[in-house]
Amino acid sequence: MSRLLIFALACLLPFAAQAGNVYKYTDRNGVTVYTNIKPRGVAKMKIIRVYCPACDVTSTVDWTATGLNIEAFKDEIRKRAAEEGVDEALVRAVIHAESAFNPRALSPAGAQGLMQLIPSTAAIYKVQNSYDAGENIRGGVRHLRMLIDLFDGDLKLVTAGYNAGENAVLRWGGVPPYDETQVYVQRVAILHQRYRQELGLDAPKTTDGPALAANTP
Protein backbone atom coordinates (compact mmCIF):
# COMPACT_ATOMS: atom_id res chain seq x y z
CA MET A 1 0.00 0.00 0.00
CA SER A 2 1.36 3.44 -0.92
CA ARG A 3 2.14 5.86 1.86
CA LEU A 4 -0.81 7.97 2.88
CA LEU A 5 -0.59 11.74 2.85
CA ILE A 6 -2.40 13.46 5.70
CA PHE A 7 -2.99 17.17 5.53
CA ALA A 8 -4.05 18.42 8.93
CA LEU A 9 -5.79 21.71 8.15
CA ALA A 10 -7.56 23.26 5.20
CA CYS A 11 -6.90 26.71 3.81
CA LEU A 12 -10.05 28.17 5.35
CA LEU A 13 -8.73 27.85 8.90
CA PRO A 14 -7.55 31.02 10.63
CA PHE A 15 -3.93 29.97 10.21
CA ALA A 16 -4.20 30.15 6.47
CA ALA A 17 -2.81 33.49 5.47
CA GLN A 18 -0.63 34.43 2.57
CA ALA A 19 2.45 32.81 4.03
CA GLY A 20 3.38 30.52 6.90
CA ASN A 21 5.07 27.25 7.83
CA VAL A 22 3.99 23.67 7.35
CA TYR A 23 5.84 20.89 9.19
CA LYS A 24 6.46 17.63 7.36
CA TYR A 25 7.47 14.44 9.14
CA THR A 26 6.96 10.68 9.03
CA ASP A 27 5.07 9.11 11.92
CA ARG A 28 5.73 5.70 13.51
CA ASN A 29 3.43 4.02 10.99
CA GLY A 30 5.36 5.37 8.04
CA VAL A 31 2.68 7.92 7.20
CA THR A 32 3.85 11.27 5.85
CA VAL A 33 2.16 14.03 7.84
CA TYR A 34 1.82 17.71 6.94
CA THR A 35 0.65 20.05 9.71
CA ASN A 36 0.84 23.74 10.61
CA ILE A 37 1.30 22.80 14.31
CA LYS A 38 4.90 22.11 15.29
CA PRO A 39 4.97 18.46 16.38
CA ARG A 40 6.43 17.51 19.75
CA GLY A 41 8.86 14.68 20.25
CA VAL A 42 9.72 14.41 16.57
CA ALA A 43 13.45 14.29 15.93
CA LYS A 44 13.34 14.67 12.17
CA MET A 45 11.02 17.11 10.50
CA LYS A 46 11.13 19.47 7.57
CA ILE A 47 9.77 23.00 7.64
CA ILE A 48 8.09 23.95 4.38
CA ARG A 49 7.42 27.57 3.59
CA VAL A 50 3.83 28.10 2.51
CA TYR A 51 2.63 30.61 -0.03
CA CYS A 52 -1.09 30.55 -0.62
CA PRO A 53 -2.57 33.77 -2.08
CA ALA A 54 -6.02 32.23 -2.45
CA CYS A 55 -6.16 31.49 1.29
CA ASP A 56 -5.82 35.12 2.35
CA VAL A 57 -9.33 36.54 2.61
CA THR A 58 -7.97 39.79 4.05
CA SER A 59 -5.51 40.55 1.24
CA THR A 60 -5.02 44.26 0.59
CA VAL A 61 -4.08 43.65 -3.05
CA ASP A 62 -6.11 45.76 -5.46
CA TRP A 63 -7.08 43.03 -7.92
CA THR A 64 -8.43 45.62 -10.35
CA ALA A 65 -4.98 47.18 -10.69
CA THR A 66 -2.36 44.59 -9.72
CA GLY A 67 0.08 43.69 -12.47
CA LEU A 68 -0.87 40.88 -14.85
CA ASN A 69 1.45 38.19 -16.18
CA ILE A 70 0.86 37.09 -19.77
CA GLU A 71 4.36 35.73 -20.41
CA ALA A 72 4.93 33.14 -17.67
CA PHE A 73 4.33 29.58 -18.91
CA LYS A 74 2.75 31.08 -22.02
CA ASP A 75 3.26 28.15 -24.37
CA GLU A 76 2.07 25.50 -21.91
CA ILE A 77 -1.01 27.47 -20.86
CA ARG A 78 -1.97 28.18 -24.46
CA LYS A 79 -1.42 24.55 -25.48
CA ARG A 80 -3.43 23.00 -22.67
CA ALA A 81 -6.22 25.58 -22.88
CA ALA A 82 -6.59 24.89 -26.60
CA GLU A 83 -6.57 21.11 -26.08
CA GLU A 84 -9.38 21.28 -23.52
CA GLY A 85 -11.33 24.15 -25.04
CA VAL A 86 -10.87 26.30 -21.94
CA ASP A 87 -10.49 30.07 -22.07
CA GLU A 88 -6.78 30.88 -21.77
CA ALA A 89 -7.64 34.00 -19.78
CA LEU A 90 -9.53 31.89 -17.24
CA VAL A 91 -6.52 29.61 -16.81
CA ARG A 92 -4.28 32.62 -16.19
CA ALA A 93 -6.79 34.12 -13.77
CA VAL A 94 -6.93 30.90 -11.74
CA ILE A 95 -3.14 30.56 -11.66
CA HIS A 96 -2.79 34.21 -10.63
CA ALA A 97 -5.34 33.83 -7.82
CA GLU A 98 -4.05 30.44 -6.67
CA SER A 99 -0.28 30.81 -6.69
CA ALA A 100 0.67 34.15 -8.27
CA PHE A 101 2.56 32.05 -10.86
CA ASN A 102 4.78 30.43 -8.21
CA PRO A 103 5.32 26.79 -9.29
CA ARG A 104 6.56 25.89 -5.77
CA ALA A 105 3.46 27.16 -3.97
CA LEU A 106 2.13 24.94 -1.18
CA SER A 107 -0.98 25.57 0.90
CA PRO A 108 -1.64 24.31 4.44
CA ALA A 109 -4.16 21.89 2.90
CA GLY A 110 -1.42 20.37 0.78
CA ALA A 111 -2.48 21.96 -2.51
CA GLN A 112 0.58 22.20 -4.69
CA GLY A 113 2.05 24.10 -7.58
CA LEU A 114 0.78 26.69 -10.03
CA MET A 115 -2.87 25.61 -10.02
CA GLN A 116 -2.80 24.32 -6.42
CA LEU A 117 -3.76 20.72 -7.06
CA ILE A 118 -4.52 18.63 -4.00
CA PRO A 119 -3.08 15.08 -4.18
CA SER A 120 -6.44 13.42 -4.84
CA THR A 121 -7.18 15.75 -7.77
CA ALA A 122 -3.66 15.32 -9.12
CA ALA A 123 -4.15 11.55 -9.01
CA ILE A 124 -7.38 11.76 -11.01
CA TYR A 125 -5.56 13.49 -13.85
CA LYS A 126 -2.42 11.36 -13.51
CA VAL A 127 -0.21 14.24 -12.42
CA GLN A 128 2.93 12.63 -11.03
CA ASN A 129 4.68 15.79 -9.88
CA SER A 130 2.52 18.79 -9.05
CA TYR A 131 5.60 20.99 -8.80
CA ASP A 132 6.32 20.40 -12.48
CA ALA A 133 4.70 23.39 -14.19
CA GLY A 134 3.69 21.49 -17.31
CA GLU A 135 2.10 18.61 -15.42
CA ASN A 136 0.34 20.95 -13.01
CA ILE A 137 -1.14 23.07 -15.79
CA ARG A 138 -2.29 19.97 -17.66
CA GLY A 139 -4.07 18.63 -14.58
CA GLY A 140 -5.50 21.99 -13.56
CA VAL A 141 -6.89 22.78 -17.00
CA ARG A 142 -8.45 19.33 -17.29
CA HIS A 143 -10.07 19.90 -13.90
CA LEU A 144 -11.43 23.24 -15.08
CA ARG A 145 -12.85 21.50 -18.15
CA MET A 146 -14.64 18.99 -15.95
CA LEU A 147 -16.12 21.77 -13.81
CA ILE A 148 -17.19 23.77 -16.87
CA ASP A 149 -19.06 20.73 -18.19
CA LEU A 150 -20.56 19.96 -14.78
CA PHE A 151 -21.87 23.49 -14.21
CA ASP A 152 -22.86 24.26 -17.81
CA GLY A 153 -20.26 26.98 -18.19
CA ASP A 154 -21.42 29.04 -15.19
CA LEU A 155 -18.04 30.52 -14.27
CA LYS A 156 -19.10 31.52 -10.75
CA LEU A 157 -19.92 27.91 -9.99
CA VAL A 158 -16.85 26.69 -11.85
CA THR A 159 -14.49 28.84 -9.80
CA ALA A 160 -16.36 28.09 -6.59
CA GLY A 161 -16.00 24.40 -7.38
CA TYR A 162 -12.31 24.82 -8.06
CA ASN A 163 -11.82 26.41 -4.65
CA ALA A 164 -14.27 24.54 -2.41
CA GLY A 165 -14.86 21.37 -4.42
CA GLU A 166 -17.72 20.55 -6.75
CA ASN A 167 -19.59 18.63 -4.05
CA ALA A 168 -19.77 21.74 -1.86
CA VAL A 169 -21.29 23.71 -4.75
CA LEU A 170 -23.82 20.96 -5.44
CA ARG A 171 -24.66 20.67 -1.74
CA TRP A 172 -25.30 24.41 -1.37
CA GLY A 173 -26.96 24.78 -4.75
CA GLY A 174 -24.61 27.64 -5.63
CA VAL A 175 -21.50 29.37 -4.37
CA PRO A 176 -20.92 28.06 -0.82
CA PRO A 177 -21.10 30.67 1.97
CA TYR A 178 -17.43 30.24 2.88
CA ASP A 179 -15.48 33.47 3.24
CA GLU A 180 -12.51 32.13 1.30
CA THR A 181 -14.65 30.86 -1.56
CA GLN A 182 -16.72 34.04 -1.79
CA VAL A 183 -13.56 36.13 -1.99
CA TYR A 184 -11.91 33.71 -4.41
CA VAL A 185 -14.81 33.80 -6.87
CA GLN A 186 -14.70 37.61 -6.91
CA ARG A 187 -10.93 37.68 -7.43
CA VAL A 188 -10.99 35.23 -10.30
CA ALA A 189 -13.85 37.11 -11.97
CA ILE A 190 -11.89 40.37 -11.81
CA LEU A 191 -8.69 38.75 -13.05
CA HIS A 192 -10.50 36.83 -15.76
CA GLN A 193 -11.99 39.99 -17.24
CA ARG A 194 -8.64 41.77 -17.07
CA TYR A 195 -6.74 38.90 -18.68
CA ARG A 196 -9.29 38.71 -21.49
CA GLN A 197 -8.73 42.37 -22.21
CA GLU A 198 -4.94 42.05 -21.89
CA LEU A 199 -4.86 39.08 -24.27
CA GLY A 200 -7.08 40.85 -26.78
CA LEU A 201 -9.96 38.43 -26.30
CA ASP A 202 -12.44 41.20 -25.45
CA ALA A 203 -13.06 44.31 -27.49
CA PRO A 204 -11.68 47.47 -25.84
CA LYS A 205 -14.35 49.90 -24.66
CA THR A 206 -14.58 53.62 -25.15
CA THR A 207 -15.88 55.92 -22.43
CA ASP A 208 -18.89 57.10 -24.43
CA GLY A 209 -19.52 54.59 -27.17
CA PRO A 210 -19.89 50.92 -28.02
CA ALA A 211 -17.13 48.38 -27.79
CA LEU A 212 -14.54 48.50 -30.57
CA ALA A 213 -13.35 45.45 -32.46
CA ALA A 214 -10.20 44.06 -30.88
CA ASN A 215 -8.21 44.29 -34.09
CA THR A 216 -9.54 47.60 -35.35
CA PRO A 217 -6.69 49.48 -37.08
CATH, domain 74-198, list 1.10.530.10, 3.40.50.300, 3.30.70.20, 2.130.10.10: 1.10.530.10
Higher pLDDT, 8 or 137: 137
Catalytic residue among 76, 88, 98, 135: 98
- pLDDT higher than 80, residue 32: no
**Closest C-alpha to 117, from 137, 97, 101:** 137
- What's the pLDDT at 22? 67
- What's the pLDDT at 63? 94
> What share of the chain has pLDDT > 90, as a percent?
59
- pLDDT higher than 80, residue 50: no
- What's the pLDDT at 77? 98
Query: Hey, what's the torsion of the CAs at 136, 137, 141, 143, to 10 degrees?
Result: 10
For range 146-170, the mean pLDDT: 98
- What's the pLDDT at 193? 98
Higher pLDDT, 28 or 86: 86
User: Per-residue pLDDT tens for 171-196?
Assistant: 999 999 999 999 999 999 999 999 99
Q: How sure is the predictor about 108, in pLDDT bands with cuts at 50, 70 and 90?
A: confident
- pLDDT higher than 50, residue 41: yes
**Could you give the 3-state DSSP secondary structure of residue 23?**
strand
Domain with CATH 1.10.530.10 in the chain: 74-198
- What's the pLDDT at 43? 80
Catalytic residue status for 76: no
- pLDDT higher than 70, residue 210: no
Residue 155 CB: number of other CB atoms within 10 A?
Answer: 18
- pLDDT higher than 90, residue 23: no
Q: What angle do CA 149, 141, 82 make, to 5 degrees?
A: 90
User: Per-residue pLDDT tens for 71-88?
Assistant: 999 999 999 999 999 999
